[in-house]
Structure 1
Amino acid sequence: MPIPEDVTGYELDKEVRQELMSLPKTLAEDVAKNLVMVAKLLDEEPERAYGHARIALRLASRVAAVREAAGFAAYGVGKYAEALAEFRAARRMTGSSHLWPVMADCERGLGRPEKALAMAGESEVQRLDKAGQVEMRLVAAGARRDMGQAEAAVVTLQSPELASHSVQPWTARLRYAYADALLAVGREEEAREWFARAIEADQGGATDASDRLAELDGVEFVDALDPDADQEDEPDRGSGPEPVGLRTEEPRDDRDDEGGASGR
């Protein structure tokens, strides 16, 4: 697959570049460039990212960073069995637990929420950092909703991290998931409050909390690309955009907005 000339491979984290030093120089450069492309394309063009990941995997399957990247690329296109296999391989190579939440989310993707929930209770979770533990809580709440346990999902998300006024990289997503869980059990006023709190923490636009809040307030949106929107009399208004799930919370089209870990 073509790689832009300005991609050098040095865009990778230092730790990943060090892993690639076990390879011959030219091979390491090729692998590095493909890994850079995976990172660049994963959110917007996951199919292309997957293609680059497969190339890197073919060239250097014994490098843990390559197996991890291949896992996230497969995860991004909904190939959950393949993603889980790659994450397990990376974990065997490194002994690290940081992929545990996304592995559990793959179990959700494979239609095994009970397995994901069981993983949330295993000792591996205690080895995660705070961000990883929050991700595991999000996955567990999603598994509860997959199992039809909406009230339990609300309880699962109630935690010191949710109550904290400190804003962390995961704060907006946690508040958003809680708001969505509240809405699912009919607690609309509380959901409105938590969507608003998610907006306060979401400086980077990681969620669509503002759209969700507007929908609750009855605001309708006009699709600017809809040719019928230019009618002279009354424009044809839609009901607003669909909730945009987060990829690492929401890798499946048919899943709730809580799920999804992102270890990138």
Structure 2
Amino acid sequence: MTGEEIDRSVRQELMSLPKTLAIDVARNLVMVAQLLDEDPERAYGYARVALRLASRVAAVREAAGFAAYGVEKYSEALTEFRAARRMSGAVDLWPIMADCERGIGRPERALAMAGEPEVRQLDKAGQVEMRLVAAGARRDLGQAEAAVVTLQSQELASTAVHPWTARLRYAYADALLAVGREQDAREWFAKTVEADSGGTTNAADRLAEIDGVEFVDALDPDADEPGEE
């Protein structure tokens, strides 16, 4: 691990630091990126080291925010995201900041953020993410029908497949199921499966559950023998 593996834009931010310090910070940030999904606790540890070394670098504060978010330290994550946004002026963290508000237990604040001017500055992926957060906030508040309506959009109706398509369709199917619209939910779980080539959701399992299909592990010693009830 040399630190050279880090994104070029982050490397440029680190150029404001002494060379040896920049290398140390870069190495820690690379480890955060590599471990964030598979071992969030270790990623959080590396992020804390990077933060201790270079707390005035926006990329470091952002990485610390994602690491804290990964271990459900939502208040801490929100603090780091706010600092990163203040330093960089970027608006792309707005949806995850709103989701942190949900994690803290403030869904009303997340909904308020969904109506702020910053949302119009987001790219399409960011706007979809904001819609997902807003729908989640509606469900947090017990407004299940409103969550369904929130997710209805041109992006949902589109037949084109984007990186966010499967997650949007899945959220809509799950929202439909929450209000008792099982057949509609089945249709949208099926549409999710079509878009989810990377297996980012468990839509196939949810679809099988609705259809009453049960999968049995053939190697499971506790599974019934063929012919057994």
The alignment's TM-score, normalised by the length of structure 2, stands at 0.96
State the alpha-carbon separation in 2 of the partners of residues 88 and 113 from structure 1.
18
Q: Which amino acid aligns with 1:163?
A: A
2:155 pairs with one of 157, 161, 165: 161
Q: CA deviation at 1:204?
A: 1.2
Q: RMSD across aligned C-alpha pairs, in angstroms?
A: 1.6
State the alpha-carbon separation in 2 of the partners of residues 225 and 121 from structure 1.
51
State the alpha-carbon separation in 1 of the partners of residues 25 and 149 from structure 2.
44
Q: Which runs of 5+ in 1 are unaligned?
A: 1-6, 236-264
Q: Which residue of 1 aligns with 2:56?
A: 62
Task: Give the aligned length.
Answer: 229
Higher relative contact order (CA 8 A, sep 6+): 1
State the alpha-carbon separation in 1 of the partners of residues 221 and 68 from structure 2.
36
Q: Which runs of 5+ in 2 are unaligned?
A: none
1:34 pairs with one of 28, 34, 41: 28
Ranges of 4+ aligned residues in structure 1 off by more than 2 Å: 221-235
Q: CA deviation at 1:30?
A: 1.1
Q: CA deviation at 1:231?
A: 6.6
State the alpha-carbon separation in 1 of the partners of residues 40 and 83 from structure 2.
21
Deviations 1:114-162 (A, max 9, x none): 0100100011101111100000000000000000000000000000000
1:87 pairs with one of 71, 81, 84: 81
Q: Which amino acid aligns with 1:135?
A: E
What is the identity percentage for the equivalent residue pairs of Structure 1 and Structure 2?
81
Q: Which amino acid aligns with 1:18?
A: Q
Q: Which residue of 1 aligns with 2:132?
A: 138
State the alpha-carbon separation in 1 of the partners of residues 137 and 16 from structure 2.
39
State the alpha-carbon separation in 2 of the partners of residues 168 and 66 from structure 1.
29
**Would the alpha carbon gap of residues 70 and 224 (structure 1) be closer, same or farther in structure 2, given more than 3 Å must change?**
farther
Match status 1:214 vs 2:208:
yes
1:220-259 to structure 2, matched below 5 A, reads 220-222=214-216, 227-229=221-223, 234=228
Q: Which residue of 1 aligns with 2:2?
A: 8
Q: CA deviation at 1:222?
A: 3.1
Q: Which residue of 1 aligns with 2:169?
A: 175
